Amino acid sequence: MQAIEPSLAFWEAVGMARTAEVPHGGALGFVILAGHGVELMLQSHASIADDMPSLADEAAAGKAFLFIEVDDIDAIERALAGQPQAFPRRTTFYGATEVGYREPGGHLVTFAMFSGGGQ
């Protein structure tokens, strides 16, 4: 998304609450929202371009980038063996172990495990 701020009122109106946010430049780079048993990460195009330049063009094209926190990243990789990866397992600047897949609809789904789970 071009900018996160215009979308916050919509998500907060449906009961999603901010659980984390990271600035990027003079705006929000990403925000994690949670509610209804769902966690949703909104990330600006500029933040994605700086963090993972290889995905910048896809982010700008409007595909959904979903972020799902899991307890066992190894189990996710076993379950999705053979599925197309968007990016291999990596450790992020914010402390997560992540791996990304393209789901059949073309959207990118990032599975993330924070310390204390799996491995």
Q: What is the pLDDT of residues 22-64, one digit of tens each?
A: 999 999 999 998 976 778 888 888 999 999 999 888 877 777 7
Taking the C-alpha atoms of residue 102 and residue 108, their distance in angstroms, rounded to an integer, is 5
The phi-psi region of residue 95 (left if phi > 0; otherwise alpha if psi is between -120 and 50; otherwise beta) is: left
Kindly tell me if the per-residue pLDDT of 118 is higher than 50. no
12 and 26 in one domain? yes
From residue 59, how far is each of 53, 76, 113 by CA, in Å?
Answer: 10, 23, 22
- Which run of H or E residues covers position 96? strand 96-102
Number of domains the chain contains: 2
Tens of pLDDT, residues 6-29: 888 766 865 779 999 999 999 999
**Interatomic CA distance for residues 26 and 98, integer angstroms:** 26
Asked whether residue 103 falls in the same domain as residue 85, the answer is yes
Structural domain including 105 reads 64-119
Are residue 58 and residue 69 in the same domain, yes or no? Answer: no
